């Protein structure tokens, strides 16, 4: 059996090569991109401005490559979590988060993750494979809320900097005039600071950058984030200081708060020193308990005190609202649990 080439996820250059193979002129690549990313067609024959003979060749050799979600879970607060088939038998997740006029989709970049952060359910499940750009774009196009999405965050399963080729190709499709023409200011790539991939994000796209810090002290950070051994967060901050975050793009630090572990004055002051000289803002995140990790969430009053110390030191810090707790919206909590109650298959009526 021959495998058909997937069109979804192809950049303009790749579509030009596909067009040439189909006997089409290079400009047909833009027509194909408009059908794929602008109109979201699911059938090659719907590309009616391509000659019938070329459509026939494409249908024989290619597929659009859309994949419907396997099921979804809807939170009382309107958050919707989708599970898609991923790689190596591991499902992946995308979370739709409506918030007044904004609607954010949190997308996955890998099936599982090899970064092994102690507090993360995705990391605990190991790594099953990289997603490609088609898998990433599919998460946007295949959900019923597709037309409502205003912002994209790469904060789902996986470490984007460990799959930079696919994340950059997807970002190119999202932001190019021939693709989905989103402003890069509506895209945030969140990374734990694997600097080879991070450097490419800084140099090759204009998306906002979020760095997962979670502890400013190297020894303490390494205890929960092994990546600190290879890519120390202090080196990451040095790299970031060479880029402009005061104008077009934004830098933020993600800081998940664990009771009695990283939430005292000493940590707040060290965190402030770490981002000294940057315009970074800090998002304080409530920890959601996971099986097999003893840490517990910092109580609200400690999170507020931590925020106030940072604010007092001139740093913009906010406590991020928890969303979708009733559907286990924390990364990696739902995929693979599709037998649990409260989730339902996505039906044509949902569209
Ligand atoms: S927190 Fe992010 S980088 Fe760490 S294991 Fe989980 S998905 Fe991977």
60 and 289 Cβ atoms separated by less than 8 Å: no
- pLDDT of the residue at 344: 54
Compute, in angstroms, the gap from residue 87 CA to the centroid of ligand 1.
17
**Which residues, 6+ apart, have CB-to-CB distance to 241 below 8 Å?**
277, 278
- Dihedral angle over CA of 170, 176, 180, 186, nearest 10: 80
- pLDDT of the residue at 247: 87
| Secondary-structure percent of the chain, ordered helix, strand, coil, rounded to 5 | 35, 20, 45
Among 195, 230, 331, 333, which is best to mutate for testing ligand 1, by the most ligand atoms less than 8 A from CB? 331
Among 112, 114, 159, which is best to mutate for testing ligand 1, by the most ligand atoms less than 8 A from CB? 159
Compute, in angstroms, the gap from residue 124 CA to the centroid of ligand 1.
9
Segments of the chain with pLDDT less than 50: 336, 338-342, 348-351
Give the three-class secondary structure for 91.
strand
Compute, in angstroms, the gap from residue 122 CA to the centroid of ligand 1.
6
Compute, in angstroms, the gap from residue 155 CA to the centroid of ligand 1.
9
- pLDDT of the residue at 328: 65
251 and 232 Cβ atoms separated by less than 8 Å: no
Alpha helices in 71-183 (DSSP H): 121-124, 133-141, 164-175
Which residue, by CA, sits nearest to atom 7 of ligand 1? 158
Compute, in angstroms, the gap from residue 244 CA to the centroid of ligand 1.
26
- pLDDT of the residue at 128: 96
- pLDDT of the residue at 348: 44
Going along the chain from its start, the domains and CATH numbers come out as: 5-63 (1.10.150.530), 71-344 (3.20.20.70)
Among 117, 155, 163, 221, which is best to mutate for testing ligand 1, by the most ligand atoms less than 8 A from CB? 117
Atom of ligand 1 nearest to the CA of 162: 3
- pLDDT of the residue at 2: 64
**Rounded Cα distance, 351 and 344, in Å:** 14
What are the catalytic residues? 93, 331
Which residue, by CA, sits nearest to atom 4 of ligand 1? 117
- pLDDT of the residue at 292: 87
Which residue, by CA, sits nearest to atom 5 of ligand 1? 123
Q: State both tokens at 24.
A: 């089409």
Which residues, judged by CB distance below 6 Å to any ligand atom, belong to the binding site of ligand 1? 113, 115-117, 120, 122-123, 157-159, 192, 331
What secondary structure does DSSP assign to 9-76, as a single string? T--HHHHHHHHHHTT--TTHHHHHHIIIIIS--S-GGG-TTS-HHHHHHHHHHEE------SEEEE-T
**Rounded Cα distance, 348 and 8, in Å:** 21
Which residue, by CA, sits nearest to atom 3 of ligand 1? 159
- pLDDT of the residue at 340: 41
Enumerate the β-bridge partners of residue 141: none
**Rounded Cα distance, 30 and 342, in Å:** 42
């Amino acid at each position: 059996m021959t495998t058909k080439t997937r069109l979804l996820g192809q950049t303009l250059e790749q579509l030009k090569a596909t067009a040439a193979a189909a006997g089409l002129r290079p400009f047909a690549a833009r027509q194909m991109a408009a059908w794929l990313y602008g109109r979201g067609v699911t059938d090659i024959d719907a590309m009616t401005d391509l000659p019938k003979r070329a459509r026939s060749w494409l249908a024989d050799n290619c597929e659009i490559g859309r994949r419907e979600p396997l099921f979804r879970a809807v939170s009382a607060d309107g958050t919707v979590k989708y599970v898609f088939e991923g790689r190596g038998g591991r499902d992946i997740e995308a979370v739709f988060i409506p918030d007044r006029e904004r609607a954010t989709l949190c997308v996955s970049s890998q099936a599982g993750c090899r970064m092994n952060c102690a507090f993360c359910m995705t990391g605990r499940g190991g790594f099953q494979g990289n997603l490609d750009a088609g898998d990433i774009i599919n998460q946007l196009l295949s959900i019923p809320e597709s037309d409502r999405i205003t912002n994209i965050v790469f904060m789902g399963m996986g470490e984007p900097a460990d799959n930079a080729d696919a994340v950059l190709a997807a970002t190119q499709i999202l932001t190019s005039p021939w693709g989905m023409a989103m402003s890069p200011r509506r895209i945030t790539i969140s990374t734990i600071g694997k600097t080879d991939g991070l450097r490419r994000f800084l140099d090759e796209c204009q998306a906002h950058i979020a760095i997962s810090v979670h502890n400013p002290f190297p020894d303490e950070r390494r205890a929960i984030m092994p990546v600190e051994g290879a890519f120390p967060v202090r080196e990451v901050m040095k790299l970031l200081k060479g880029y402009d975050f005061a104008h077009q793009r934004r830098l933020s630090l993600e800081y998940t708060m664990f009771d009695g572990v990283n939430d005292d004055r000493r940590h707040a002051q060290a965190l402030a020193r770490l981002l000294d000289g940057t315009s970074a803002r800090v998002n304080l995140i409530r920890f959601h308990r996971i099986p097999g990790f003893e840490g517990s969430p910092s109580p609200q009053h400690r999170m507020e005190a931590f925020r106030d110390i940072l604010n007092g030191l001139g740093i913009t810090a906010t406590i991020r609202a928890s969303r979708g707790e009733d559907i286990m919206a924390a990364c990696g909590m739902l995929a693979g649990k599709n037998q649990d109650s409260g989730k339902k298959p996505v039906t044509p009526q949902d569209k």
